[in-house]
Amino acid sequence: MGAGEAVEPEARGGGPGESESFSPFWLVSDLVARDEANALSHKVLGRSVAREAVASGGGLPFAARCALTTRPDIGLMSCFSPAAQWSWPHGACADGPRHILVRPAEGRVLIEQGGRRTSLRAREAAVLALEAETRFSLVQIGRIDLIRLDVARLPLLAEPPAGALMRAVARGNRGLQVLGHYGALLLRGLLPLHSAALQDLAIGHIHDLVGAMLADRSAPVQVAAADRRAGRLMAIKADIEARLERRDLGIDMLSSLHGLSARAIQKLFETESRTFSDYVLERRLERAWHRLVTVEGQGPTISAIAFEVGFGDLSYFNRSFRKRFGRSPSQVRSAQQAG
C-alpha cells in the first residue's frame, strides 16, 4: 500500500513535528488528472487535501483509481472506482498486511480463497487472512473499505475461532456499525488525533471494535418497528455528523446513502417533532459554539468557523447563532477569552 512520487510536495510538510499532524490523505493513480482528483476530494470531504500519485496498474488495492487514507497511516483506506476483478497474491509484498477487513459500500463482492467462497452485500464485512491468493469479484461497487489488522493488537487472529474468517458479518452487527461510523470520522479528519499517543489509541479502538464484531455470533433477531426507525435515524444522524462541514449536505445526499426517500427521512425526524433541516442547523450551531469556547488564543476568525461548520452565509450564521444561544458569536468568544 505504498505510494510513489509525490505530486504535491509542498502539502506534505516535514520536520520532526510531522508525525503529530493527523489528516485525510489521498493516494491517486497517476492516470487520474488533477481536476478529477480535486472533484472527488470535494465530493467526499468537501475540500481538497494533500495527495500523492501512485503507479497505475495495481499500485492501489483493487487497482482503484483513488484511495482515501490518513497521514500518519493508521490502517484505514477507502478505495474508489475499483476493478471488477482483482487478486491479492500470496507473498506479493513482504511488508504488506497479513489480515484485513473488507466492506463494500454498495453492490456485491464475491471473495474466493483456497476453495472457500463468501459473498458480501453492501455494508457487510469480512475479515480475511491473506495467507493464500485471494480473488475478488466486484459488482456495481464504487467504493470498498479496507482495514489493515495487526495480530499483536487482536490476538484471536493468530488462532481464530472456527468460522471467524471469511464469514460475512451482517450490516446490523453492532460492532460493525460502530466501527463504520468511527472509521468515517477518522478518515475525514474529524477527530483531532494530533499526537502519537492519540493515534495509537485510535488504532487500539479499531482493533477492539473488530474484536467485538467477530465475537458477536448471535443470529439476527426480529426488531420492533419503533426500534428499526430509531436505528435508521441514529445511522442518518451519524452520517450527518461526518459530513456536517459540507455545504452541499442535504436530504437528497442522505436519501442516496441510505436508500430511503426524502419523505421517509423527513418522517423519521418528525418523530422528534422537528425537520431534517432543523436538525442540521442545530448541529452546525452547536459545533460552532464548541469551536468558539474551546479554541485557545486568538484562533480562527468567526467567519472561518462559520464556513468550517458548513454555513455559506455569514449574516445567516450570526442571526441563527443569536436566535439559538441568545448571544452573538463575538460575545461568546469575548466571554471565553475573558475566562
* pLDDT tens digits, 35-64: 888 888 877 877 788 899 888 766 899 999
Contact between 251 and 266 (Cβ < 8 Å): yes
Q: What Rg value do the Cα atoms of the chain yield, rounded?
A: 21
Whether 282 shows a pLDDT value over 70: the answer reads yes
Burial 266-278 (b: 16+ CB within 10 A, else e): eebbeeeeeebee
pLDDT score of 49: 86
How confident is the model over 107-129, as a mean pLDDT? Answer: 91
Q: All 3 cell numbers of residue 278?
A: 432543523
Q: All 3 cell numbers of residue 158?
A: 493468530
For residue 325, report the phi and psi dihedrals to the nearest 5 degrees.
-110, -5
What is the band of 25 on the pLDDT scale with cuts at 50, 70, 90?
A: very high
Cα separation, 339 vs 147, whole angstroms? 43
Residue 225: Cβ within 10 Å count: 7
- Which pTM does this prediction carry? 0.67
What is the band of 103 on the pLDDT scale with cuts at 50, 70, 90?
A: very high
What is the band of 8 on the pLDDT scale with cuts at 50, 70, 90?
A: very low
Contact between 169 and 39 (Cβ < 8 Å): no
pLDDT score of 96: 63
